[in-house]
Amino acid sequence: MLNLKNNNLVLVLIIFLYIISLYIGFYLGEDLSTGGSNWDFNQTWPVVVDFSNNVFNTITQYTRHVPLHYFVLSLIYKILDSQFYVRIFFSIFVLLLPLFLFLNLKKIYNYPKINLLLVSFCVILLPYFRSSSIWPNTHLTALIFLTIGNYFYLEASQKNKKIYCFLNLLFTAFATYSIQTYVLFFIFYLYHYFKNLSKKDFASLFIFCVILSLPGWYLLSFNDRVARITISTDFFYTIATNFSIIGFFLVMFLFNKDNLLKFKEYLLKLNKFEMLLITILLLSVIFKFNYHDMHGGGGFFYKISKFLFNNNILFYLSFLMGLVLSIICIKIDKNFLFLIILINGLNLNYAVYQKYFEPVFLVMILIFYKNFLVNNLLRDKKNVIFFNIIIILYFTLGQINGYFKLSKEILPFLN
């Protein structure tokens, strides 16, 4: 018993070190998005200043995003009157994400709390979480609201109280008014309410959603940049990059025996139609993929493929891996189809960046459903530790890239 307590004390210390590392990064001005988050924060800071002075008609000059994130920062700026203190406040506020991740996981899985805490707080090491925390970014604000909203969704599912449904949709609206593409999550929640509630209860929730949408229609009336979300017309670029990045994050869950054996079992069960579909998509991507690095992006495997081999071979293999892993996940648990559709829907830009999958895709896998990937991860402390080691390695790669600016200097467009 003493040994177990000592082990848990060490793990709690690790969580504490994760938090401390974020504030060390803050002190050092860390930006593991190779300067992107710093630039974006300074580019949009005038919006915060204008909002604090009750000037609301200048936002279109600085950003195409909806205004809630900047409005929240403006309230803090009005009180503290310092950009530095606003950044400090935000770096504390973002700890709500790992906290609510833990609360969500606790609702779904009945495993030792230390396992849940370790998985929840290791997101602090994800490069884009860190850069968005240190240089306040609207993507992280939206994800925090979404995670809080999902907690109320789980409460509604377990306690059958409609007030939690309204809170779920309210916080999803807050997320959407931070990043407009998060409107897709309304489809997810409303679909489940439609399936599980009476017509009368669903109708009241739908009317509530209509009311929540009214400010959005008003915003669209004077900010056409909100509506002009740039969507890629190159299907093969988008699908190849999306599934390459999806594969990158799904692999993180394979570093335990149970999940690995599960994937191996179902890999051998792929039928002829599925293998034909995979082959056609792979060949189509190989022959139709034509991306010239004009806007950067591409994800981890695209950059590594260019850097190591100066071609796309490794990238194509990563697309194949991501596609196969996705199909197997869906075969094991049909609910994964929703996750794959949603994450693709969130990333239809002309340039796809890995940072926009991180940490939102991991959060979706962790808390949207009870699933075999997370269940097998959480039930064994060794698996949890291996998962943390993978995240630490990813963080280390991000630090190396940030220090040497590899993705900027070696591959100047890939940042």
pTM of the model: 0.94
pLDDT at position 415: 37
Of 152-161, 166-175, 378-387, 397-406, least confident by mean pLDDT is 397-406
pLDDT score of 414 more than 70:
no
- Lowest mean pLDDT of 109-113, 252-256, 274-278, 407-411, name the range: 407-411
Name the least confident of 122-126, 177-181, 236-240: 236-240
pLDDT in tens, 236-263: 888 899 999 999 999 999 988 999 999 9
> What pLDDT, on the 0 to 100 scale, is given for residue 410?
46
**Can you give the three-state secondary structure of the chain, one letter per residue?**
CHHHHHHHHHHHHHHHHHHHHHHHHHHHCCCCCCCHHHHHHHHHHHHHHHHHCCCCCCHHHCCCCCCHHHHHHHHHHHHHCCHHHHHHHHHHHCCHHHHHHHHHHHHHCCCCHHHHHHHHHHHHHCHHHHHHHHCCCHHHHHHHHHHHHHHHHHHHHHHCCHHHHHHHHHHHHHHHCCCHHHHHHHHHHHHHHHHHCCHHHHHHHHHHHHHHHHHHHHHHHHCHHHHCCCCCCCHHHHHHHHHHHHHHHHHHHHCCHHHHHHHHHHHCCCCHHHHHHHHHHHHHHHHHCCCCCCCCCCCHHHHHHHHHHCCCHHHHHHHHHHHHHHHHHHHHCCCHHHHHHHHHHHCCCCCCCHHHHCCHHHHHHHHCCCCHHHHHHHCCHHHHHHHHHHHHHHHHHHHHHHHHCHHHHCCCCCC
Band (pLDDT 50/70/90 cuts) for residue 413 is very low
**pLDDT at site 370:** 94
Work out the pLDDT band at 404, boundaries 50, 70, 90. Answer: confident
